[in-house]
Amino acid sequence: MPDLPAFTHALFASAHLLAAHPGFWLLFVLVFLVLVEGLMFLPRIDFVVKTAVGAVLGAQALLLFATAAAGGAPSLGQLLGVLHWPLGHVLALAGTSLLTFGLGLAFLRWKAGAAAPRFFFGRFGKEKPPAPRDFMVFKWAMYLGGLPWLMLPAVLVLTPQTTALQALATSLALAWAHLPALLLLTGLTVGLEALQPALARVLPKPAALAVSAVLLPVMVLIILAMQYSLGAQWLGLA
């Protein structure tokens, strides 16, 4: 697989970035998850708002990795830079993420029926979620549907002078040129997520919840670090 060396290099580069500031990354991911997951308490529009805001905030978070890669000390204050993003960049990030979310919902509706997507538009904790297998189908459809835009955050962060349309075109070109690596990254993401329901079947509930609580921040950090590291390689900035 031609992209395997690049993927492996990015994995080691990501581990190096995370190991350089472990305490900060732990604090960062906790703040990030509180900000994003806190939106789940909005009635009816929780998943929609979470998807849009998470995409923009996640892109801003890549600047922290850029700071660490340059030998600086990342800070939580950098997250406030999201307030200064050009409107076109914000719309591109939020729009592609919502499109990806919509693709997942469409596939879920086709697979599990019209009632399944209602979970995403009900009150948090009130609606019954789709069956675990259907939920994973939704995840796979969403992640695979989002492959053309997976590198968009890295493109916008690493080449901030680019326009939104240029960044979308670059993201699409990177996805086409490096599809095997992005499929590996997607498989890693879905695999980590699939561990959570699997753990619930083999571990006592408290233990499964504890392990899942560790897996979520680890997954967020790995995916963000890999997006940055792969983007830096492919854009010739590493």
| pLDDT at 204 > cutoff 70 | yes
Contact 127, 50 (CB under 8 A): no
Tens of pLDDT, residue by residue over 69-124, are 999 999 999 888 888 899 999 999 999 999 999 999 999 889 888 888 888 887 66
The stretch 135-148 carries a mean pLDDT of: 88
Report the distance separating Cα 75 and Cα 160, nearest Å: 20
Report the distance separating Cα 83 and Cα 57, nearest Å: 10
Report the number of distinct structural domains present in the chain.
1
| pLDDT at 1 > cutoff 60 | no
Q: What is the DSSP letter of 39?
A: G
pTM of the model: 0.89
| pLDDT at 49 > cutoff 70 | yes
- Distances in whole angstroms, Cα of residue 234 to Cα of each of 63, 129, 151, 174: 17, 38, 10, 8
The stretch 37-54 carries a mean pLDDT of: 84
For the chain, what percentages of helix, strand and coil (3-state, to nearest 5) are there?
Answer: 80, 0, 20
Place of tokens 């970035």: 17
Give the model's pLDDT for residue 53.
92
State the pLDDT confidence band at 133, using cuts at 50, 70 and 90.
Answer: confident
Give the model's pLDDT for residue 93.
96
As a whole number, the mean pLDDT across the chain is: 87
| pLDDT at 140 > cutoff 60 | yes
| pLDDT at 199 > cutoff 80 | no
Tens of pLDDT, residue by residue over 14-34, are 999 999 999 999 999 999 988
Give the model's pLDDT for residue 124.
64
State the pLDDT confidence band at 125, using cuts at 50, 70 and 90.
Answer: low
Tens of pLDDT, residue by residue over 147-189, are 999 999 999 999 989 999 999 999 999 999 999 999 988 888 8
Which domain covers residue 96, as residue numbers?
Answer: 4-234
The stretch 29-51 carries a mean pLDDT of: 85
